[in-house]
Structure 1
Amino acid sequence: MTEQLRLMAVHAHPDDESSKGAATMAKYVDEGVDVLVATCTGGERGSILNPKLKGDTYIEENIHEVRRKEMDEAREILGVKQSWLGFVDSGLPEGDPLPPLPEGCFALQDVDEAAGALVKLIREFRPHVVTTYDENGGYPHPDHIMTHKISMVAFDHAADTEKYPESEFGPAWQPQKLYYNQGFNRSRTEALHNALLDAGMDSPYGDWLERWEKMGIHERTLTTYVPCGDHFEIRDKALIAHATQIDPEGGWFRIPLEFQRKVWPTEEYELAKSLVETSLPEDDLFAGIRDN
């Protein structure tokens, strides 16, 4: 098609874009696709997960500013555009019973009102494809679940000028496909785990699989396998850019890239909504759109 293809990836926090679908985005950027990351919150309540940076007073006192700079670096590495929706991180509640969410946070916003910010961005960027999280948020962080909720409303109503008037939200636009990120799936994890053991190597996935078994987590429906192994190195560089969240010597990076490319060279998605005809399984998020 003569029109440039456009992909929007909706994420809850800075760093989510680099751990979920980053190689896919880098692949499409290389192919000339216009890619925009919509980041719902600033990650203000995120913990410092890199043990080398824990106790750094400056980072602790300026976490919002630090995470914005990390996002800038990751964006440059991936070659994507990025916009902040401006909501405040809800934090991950812990304890029994769970404490209430902080007043004013993203997860406590009215869903239709919060979706308006995403509708406005969709109408400005005019994506053909949107990616987001499933109804469980990928994992049950309140901001991930809220990201799913506003993404569904925005996809369904981006062209609804009665619900979201053009005078306030811009000219109507309807994306054609909506996907859930499913990169952390059982099939991929088991394949890598078994291949590592067969090769006589340690696997970081044993605990994952045991925990999923105890929690009764079952495989989602994987519909789309995007070949992007050549971009795994860019994915990892973007993830390392989020230094407060990622230990470069941690489990994320224990498996050699060539091993990953050989065993599982794709990133996976679940097609949630499509307004175009397509045949499953797919190997392209734009299947059914390119020739339409």
Structure 2
Amino acid sequence: MKRLCCLLFLLFTLPLCPVGSLAQEAIDVTRDCRIYLNGGSTARKNITDKKYMTVWVGNMGRESTIRIELPKHFDCGGLYLCWGTRPDTWTLYQNDQEVAQSDDSGFAHEYVEVKGGGGLRLVMQANESANIILGELFVLQGHTPPDWVQRWQPTYETADLMVLVAHPDDELLFMGGTIPYYERVRNKRVVVCYLTCANNMRQSELLNGLWSMGIRNYPVIGQFRDKNQPTMKKMYDFWGKNEVEDFVVELVRKYKPKVLISHDVNGEYGHSAHRVCSELAVYAFHEAGKKSVDPKSTQEFGTWEISKLYLHLHEENPIVMDWKTPHEKLDGQTPLKLAEAAFKLHRSQNKNHQMGKNNKYDSSKFGLAGTRVGNDIQKNDFFENVPEE
């Protein structure tokens, strides 16, 4: 009798479920939509070409609007927005009813769910000092967004491992399989920090690359300008030595990493930003634990002492990491293969650099440049001697 009741319940409730089932993966229906915005057909093409290289620019200090007429049979789905510069605020209206508002996450890529069809109106407000920049807009129909649609979680409150690099793609070219290995195989909290991000395209590339490797917690993207300088002094002058030192010390105090890794002291191929980034990592290792250094972040976050510091290609206390072993937690792939696939998403840089056999700067070689927990014996793990929580 009990089985019969359960069967009858299922028969009566199944028709109430949405057609296509809850597991239906959403499809891209952007081309089936009518999109209206300032700039006409050129602007519309710029935000729907899936290249991340062309953009639409909204009004500085004023309100901007994008209107979208959804396809006739649209029942549910969402908007995937890839910002170059986010508006101060945005509000989404559906058939003149407010259905969503921006949050304070700061995520450059975000997904907004939409239920039902009709017309959408995205109203954006820019501040007085920056234009709104939208790189790509996707309209998706279906219950479950596909894997490539990014739904970021906030940056970890505390890090096990901090990866500090100068530019987007450095975390792959020079750190190899570090990020997918420690995040997914070793279950460590990895916070990736960039000092610079040249433009909206490279911002999207770094997010696409991290997401493809299985990273779900948002990185830290610094706002220092990207320009190679002939000397380290000029690089420091360009960024402001005190400003960039305080920035890195604050990162360490805020996220409290046990292990920090960064660039080669010689900047791999001599890039002054890489060299300065490496020196900043050494500075933070020694200074972030001192109250007198950057009193502002001391007051907000307290001080912090990193257990271990590794630098790429460092000759002292060398270790060699294994990024070429497949792992079940990586779906049978190697950490290096995931990093190589992520680098391919940095399309603007593919002509200038290469990974794999053609990468001149071995991403498996590091050296222990600072330690508070003793020297390595096994020399194959950044967390050797670091106590577990």
* Contact 2:159–2:255 (8 Å) recurs in 1: no
Match of 2:187 in 1: 32
Q: Distance in 2 between matches of 1:5 and 1:163?
A: 21
Q: Does 1:228 align with 2:287?
A: no
**2:176 partner letter:** A
Kindly report which structure 2 residues correspond to 1:22-101, keeping only aligned pairs within 5 A, or say none.
22-30=176-184, 31-42=186-197, 44=198, 64-80=199-215, 81-91=218-228
**How far apart are residue 113 of structure 1 and its match?**
3.0
Match of 1:117 in 2: 247
**1:121 alignment partner, SS class:** helix
Select the structure of larger CA radius of gyration. 2
Q: Distance in 1 between matches of 2:351 and 2:259?
A: 32
**How far apart are residue 38 of structure 1 and its match?**
0.9
**2:355 partner letter:** W
Match of 2:364 in 1: 267
**1:279 alignment partner, SS class:** coil
Match of 2:312 in 1: 181
Match of 2:172 in 1: 18
Deviates more, 1:160-169 or 1:271-280: 160-169
Q: Distance in 2 between matches of 1:109 and 1:171?
A: 25
**How far apart are residue 247 of structure 1 and its match?**
4.2
Match of 2:341 in 1: 237
Tell me: CA distance 1:228–1:289, structure 2 relative to 1, closer, same or farther (3 Å): same
**1:144 partner letter:** H
Q: Distance in 2 between matches of 1:167 and 1:223?
A: 33
**How far apart are residue 221 of structure 1 and its match?**
4.2
Report percent identity of matched pairs: 22
Tell me: CA distance 1:161–1:222, structure 2 relative to 1, closer, same or farther (3 Å): closer
1:47-86 deviations in whole A, cap 9, x for unaligned?
A: xxxxxxxxxxxxxxxxx01000001101112334411121
TM-score (norm 2): 0.50
Deviates more, 1:271-280 or 1:237-246: 271-280
TM-score (norm 1): 0.65
Q: Does 1:252 align with 2:355?
A: yes
1:215-235 deviations in whole A, cap 9, x for unaligned?
A: xxxx93462122221212101
**How far apart are residue 246 of structure 1 and its match?**
0.9
**2:275 alignment partner, SS class:** helix
**1:227 alignment partner, SS class:** coil
Tell me: CA distance 1:238–1:87, structure 2 relative to 1, closer, same or farther (3 Å): same
Bigger share in strand: 2
Match of 1:60 in 2: none
**How far apart are residue 242 of structure 1 and its match?**
0.6
Match of 2:41 in 1: none
Q: Distance in 1 between matches of 2:344 and 2:320?
A: 24
* Contact 1:155–1:175 (8 Å) recurs in 2: yes
Tell me: CA distance 1:270–1:107, structure 2 relative to 1, closer, same or farther (3 Å): farther
**How far apart are residue 167 of structure 1 and its match?**
5.3
Q: Does 1:289 align with 2:382?
A: no
* Contact 1:7–1:127 (8 Å) recurs in 2: yes
* Contact 1:90–1:142 (8 Å) recurs in 2: no
**1:176 partner letter:** S
Match of 1:55 in 2: none
Tell me: CA distance 1:266–1:241, structure 2 relative to 1, closer, same or farther (3 Å): closer
Tell me: CA distance 1:92–1:245, structure 2 relative to 1, closer, same or farther (3 Å): farther
Runs (5+) with no aligned partner, structure 1: 45-63, 183-218
**2:207 alignment partner, SS class:** helix
**How far apart are residue 175 of structure 1 and its match?**
0.8
**1:74 alignment partner, SS class:** helix
Runs (5+) with no aligned partner, structure 2: 1-157, 325-333
**How far apart are residue 149 of structure 1 and its match?**
2.1
Q: How large is the RMSD of aligned CA atoms in angstroms? A: 3.0
* Contact 2:260–2:309 (8 Å) recurs in 1: yes
Bigger share in helix: 1
* Contact 2:309–2:368 (8 Å) recurs in 1: yes
Tell me: CA distance 1:254–1:110, structure 2 relative to 1, closer, same or farther (3 Å): closer
Tell me: CA distance 1:15–1:107, structure 2 relative to 1, closer, same or farther (3 Å): farther
Kindly report which structure 2 residues correspond to 1:147-158, keeping only aligned pairs within 5 A, or say none.
147-158=277-288
Equivalent residue pairs, number: 216
Tell me: CA distance 1:107–1:82, structure 2 relative to 1, closer, same or farther (3 Å): farther
Structure with greater contact order relative to length (CA < 8 Å, sep ≥ 6): 1
**1:124 alignment partner, SS class:** helix
Q: Distance in 1 between matches of 2:292 and 2:317?
A: 35
**1:22 alignment partner, SS class:** coil
Q: Does 1:137 align with 2:267?
A: yes
Q: Which runs of 4+ in 1 moved over 6 A?
A: none
